[in-house]
Amino acid sequence: MVSRFKFDDWTHLYATRTSSLKSSEVRDLLSVGTRPDIISFAGGLPSTKNFPMQKFINVTMALQYGPSEGHEGLRKQIQKIVKEEGVKADSENILVTSGSQQALDMLGKIFIDPGDPIVVEAPSYVGALNAFASYQTNFISIPLEEDGIRIDELSHRLSELKKQSKLPKFIYLVPTFHNPAGITMSEEKRKKISLLAKEYETIIIEDNPYSQLRFEGKAIPPIRSFDDSVIYLGTFSKIFSPGLRLGWAIAPPSVHEKLIFAKQAADLCTSSFTQRVVEKFFEDDSWKNHLEDLIECYRKRRDVMLRALEEFFPEGTKWTIPEGGLFLWVELPDYINTTQMLAEAVREEKIAYVPGRAFFADGKGTNCMRLNFSYPEEDKIYEGIKRLSKVVKKQIGLYKSFNI
């Protein structure tokens, strides 16, 4: 593969299929063709003059193909947003994606050969598990505790894998306001994990969709803020709108280049129209008022959920107390199967949740569930937890009546 980057620290990590990914000559020409001094006969661009809505809106470029890496203006906005999170990035290292979900899929594509190990938290974001599973990975699941991944366990598994010459292709983490666990990794652990990744010559994917949604407590700097080798993902889904499908990946230059090839192969470029809409929305600081409104709303909803759990949930159950984000994680006694219980919750009490099993690559989590507090309104949350507690109490009662 011809690379613009002389040094690529990650050649031992890429999947075999990545060597067949290359830059599209047509796409390269397209970016030249957008320069005003060029008369381009190269790409397959429709005539801008004939776009039907041109009379009505003055955003013709929003109807055209755009650069695969994303519009420069939007990448500049993203640069500002991540700076607020403590991450310094050049706009050239930012790739705009169709949601961060697309970045997860492309990372699976460029790194994972069938059977390759990758490290994930247990539980982990189900969309990432699904994306990576489709490349036939071998999941190494490391349990979470209150302040993030179990470092002792991670270190032990990495040294075992090293002995088998099977080091993981990457370590996938959601350190802040974890989906689904609702917890946040401590700063100390973030530092340790960065050192471990270096020691075991692997790369960290830090997925950070939620850190701007902090209700309380002190912000903890992302791993990427002190370690440039981290692949850092973000999204407009949680701070603006998920329907627009806009996210980003900030990666070391050599990985960034592979991601662009994968992006060209997947969809050429992210929708120019949505990029322009979002660029406009984030043009001045008024988006911060919108963020404040979201935080205020979600904080109140979280508080109602926590209060209702305290009031209605029976002894033997516990839950996390998230300082931000959208979810909390409930653990029921280990004899309860939340997948089976869901049918009854929906049928009898008209309540839905996600059973914990979905978030584990290793089959665990059967007694757990993820509860979202950002979507239902406060009175619904209170009523919903009250009804859900009835189902839980019934399950506990049934178990006890058979086991006395």
Ligand X SMILES: Cc1ncc(COP(=O)(O)O)c(C=O)c1O
Q: Which residues bind ligand X (CB under 6 A)?
A: 99-101, 125, 127, 174, 179, 207, 209, 235, 237, 242, 247
**C-beta of residue 104 within 8 angstroms of C-beta of residue 233:** yes
**In the complex, least distance from residue 378 CB atom to ligand X, rounded to whole angstroms:** 22
**In the complex, least distance from residue 229 CB atom to ligand X, rounded to whole angstroms:** 20
**C-beta of residue 146 within 8 angstroms of C-beta of residue 97:** no
**In the complex, least distance from residue 101 CB atom to ligand X, rounded to whole angstroms:** 3
What single string gives the DSSP state of each residue in 339-360?
A: HHHHHHHHHHH----EEGGGG-
**In the complex, least distance from residue 108 CB atom to ligand X, rounded to whole angstroms:** 13
Beta carbon nearer to ligand X, 236 or 261: 236
CA distance 283 to 77: 7
Beta carbon nearer to ligand X, 330 or 391: 330
Beta carbon nearer to ligand X, 254 or 270: 270
Beta carbon nearer to ligand X, 18 or 101: 101
Strand extents, DSSP E, 231-291: 231-235, 247-250
End-to-end Cα spacing for the chain: 67
Beta carbon nearer to ligand X, 87 or 336: 87
CA distance 314 to 390: 9
**In the complex, least distance from residue 152 CB atom to ligand X, rounded to whole angstroms:** 24
Beta carbon nearer to ligand X, 181 or 351: 181
Q: Which residue has the tokens 């159950």?
A: 317
**In the complex, least distance from residue 40 CB atom to ligand X, rounded to whole angstroms:** 32
Backbone angles phi, psi at 235, to 5 degrees: -155, 155
Residue 206: how many CB atoms within 10 A of its CB?
26
H or E segment to which residue 142 belongs:
strand 138-145
**C-beta of residue 233 within 8 angstroms of C-beta of residue 103:** yes
Q: Encoding tokens for residue 51?
A: 């776009």
Beta carbon nearer to ligand X, 237 or 338: 237
**In the complex, least distance from residue 274 CB atom to ligand X, rounded to whole angstroms:** 12
**C-beta of residue 172 within 8 angstroms of C-beta of residue 118:** yes
Q: Enumerate helices (H) and strands (E) in the chain, giving the number of each.
A: 11, 12
